[in-house]
């Protein structure tokens, strides 16, 4: 196919030899299958902020650093330069998270380069060598659901031990490769120790996995892995090899009404995002 303008820079630099086809168009980026020498990879082209629907929520961007006070002031004022800085930080967050998690052994696509708002990384494939499907596009037997759920909990633990919370983990952000699930889409990843909302996001990530796989293995719906994982993490007891039980007894105490209302708002936003993803074509 004709090389899209946003990918021409990678072609000029010799990082990409040819563009095979468009793989998908999502809320924040377009993904293309490309050839790099003998390798088939994918190129994620981030959409400009005014052309995508994903909101850079304050919860996600909290504690992300800028280079200097000028950039911070520009971001606070919402100037054109400030929006450019904010966009660059948002995009680089996924790149940084991918390199960090790949080094920690987390099952994410291996990143290769990042140039002009385009992330070049491995193409995740199925047993036939085709682009791997999202979990949302696959039906599972009870045994397979339990197996893949356990595998993803292992990745959640490994991510948290590396200091990262995905922040938007669901059946829409996991691909089913030939050798198991692979986690994708990390621009909203947060620092577990540096973001005040990390616990809430971790619990939501694990709940999303529980609810999805619980459709096929209903026993999962009675588990509380998220609370257990965070409890161990807070006390410095979490390791990738830590055995989980899925059981957790919450402390009883006064109800935080603001926190409850915030959870309700988050649930509404998540449902709206899910409906949007369901409408997103995969080509």
Told to judge if 185 belongs to the known catalytic residues of this protein, a careful annotator would answer yes
Q: Rounded to an integer, what distance in angstroms lies between the CA atom of residue 191 and that of residue 160? A: 9
Q: Catalytic pick from 59, 96, 137, 185?
A: 185
Q: Catalytic pick from 12, 137, 168, 256?
A: 168
- In whole angstroms, how far apart are CA 59 and each of 170, 197, 233, 246? 18, 6, 20, 27
Contact 258, 192 (CB under 8 A): no
For the chain, what's the residue count? 283
Contact 131, 23 (CB under 8 A): yes
Told to judge if 168 belongs to the known catalytic residues of this protein, a careful annotator would answer yes
Q: Rounded to an integer, what distance in angstroms lies between the CA atom of residue 270 and that of residue 208? A: 10
- Catalytic residue list: 168, 185
């Amino acid at each position: 196919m004709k090389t899209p303008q946003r990918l021409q820079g990678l072609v000029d630099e010799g990082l990409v030899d040819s563009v095979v086809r468009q793989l998908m168009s999502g809320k924040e980026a377009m993904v293309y299958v490309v050839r790099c020498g003998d390798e088939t990879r994918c190129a994620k082209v981030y959409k400009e902020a005014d052309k995508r629907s994903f909101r850079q929520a304050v919860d996600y961007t909290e504690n992300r650093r800028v280079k200097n006070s000028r950039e911070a002031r520009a971001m606070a004022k919402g100037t054109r330069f400030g929006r450019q800085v904010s966009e660059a930080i948002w995009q680089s967050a996924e790149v940084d998270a991918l390199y960090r998690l790949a080094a920690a052994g987390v099952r994410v696509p291996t990143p290769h380069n990042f140039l002009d708002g385009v992330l070049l990384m491995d193409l995740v494939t199925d047993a036939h060598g085709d682009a791997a499907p999202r979990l949302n596009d696959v039906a599972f037997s009870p045994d397979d659901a339990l197996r893949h759920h356990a595998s993803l909990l292992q990745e959640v633990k490994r991510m948290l031990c590396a200091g990262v919370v995905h922040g938007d983990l669901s059946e829409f952000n996991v691909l089913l490769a030939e050798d198991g699930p692979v986690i994708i889409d990390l621009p909203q990843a947060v620092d577990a120790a540096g973001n005040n909302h990390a616990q809430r996001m971790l619990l939501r990530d694990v709940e999303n996995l529980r609810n999805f796989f619980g459709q096929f293995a209903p026993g999962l719906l009675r588990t509380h892995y998220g609370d257990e994982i965070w409890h161990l993490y807070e006390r410095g007891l979490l390791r990738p090899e830590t055995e989980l039980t899925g059981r957790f007894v919450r402390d009883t105490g006064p109800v935080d009404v603001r926190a409850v209302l915030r959870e309700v708002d988050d649930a509404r936003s998540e449902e709206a995002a899910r409906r949007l993803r369901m409408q997103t074509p995969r080509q």
